[in-house]
Amino acid sequence: MKIGSKYYPLFAHLTQAAGEPVTLRFAEVEAMLGTRLPGSARKRVGWWSNRSKGAVQASAWMDAGYHVKSVDLGAETVNFDKAQLTYVVEKSGDTVLWNGGMIKALRQHMGFSQGELADELGVRQQTVSEWETGAYVPSRASSKHLGLVAERAGFTYGVGEERP
């Protein structure tokens, strides 16, 4: 999040909260920003969604390490909580068995959408989605490829550990 960005003050506020849950009234967010929120922020919960692409406002909280936990449009409040993915790392022989939680954590570590990770791996976006939801698991070859991509991206994990 760049200094001078419209939503930088929200990013700075959340960064100072150091991972503690934060509840803000929309009016408090507007006071931080020095301007009114767009009308859609008061009418659509989707404006507050945790999406990594196409939403400058979401970058403010996600870059600070937060996710929107809940939004109450009637009360005009938003609850932020520390973003955390938990997953267990398992191995078969020398191959890490990639699961949905690990794949999603890798994707978020890289700042990629499902489509971008799919392009990186040479698979369809739907395949990444199915892996993340647990509908399918990556083949042994795909698991090895995921491991190489993770290594290149500096994504670390410990076998047999639950990772936050």
User: Which of the two residues, 50 and 71, has the higher pLDDT score?
Assistant: 71
Contact 128, 121 (CB under 8 A): yes
pLDDT digits 0-9 by tens, 31-64:
999 999 999 999 999 999 887 666 789 888 888 8
CATH of 87-163 among 3.30.565.10, 1.10.3720.10, 1.10.260.40, 2.30.130.10: 1.10.260.40
| Mean per-residue pLDDT of the chain | 86
Is pLDDT at 161 greater than 80 in this prediction? no
Alpha-carbon gap, residue 80 to 29, rounded angstroms: 12
pTM for the full predicted model:
0.56
**Residue 36: CB atoms within 10 Å:** 12
- Enumerate the CATH 1.10.260.40 domain ranges in the chain, comma separated: 87-163
Q: Predicted confidence band at 157 (pLDDT cuts at 50, 70, 90)? A: confident
- Judged by phi (left if over 0) then psi (alpha if -120 to 50, else beta), residue 93 lies in left
Contacts of 39 (CB under 8 A, 6+ apart): none
pLDDT digits 0-9 by tens, 88-135:
788 888 778 898 888 988 887 787 778 889 999 999 999 998 998 889
Q: In this structure, what token pair is assigned to residue 16? A: 């100072």
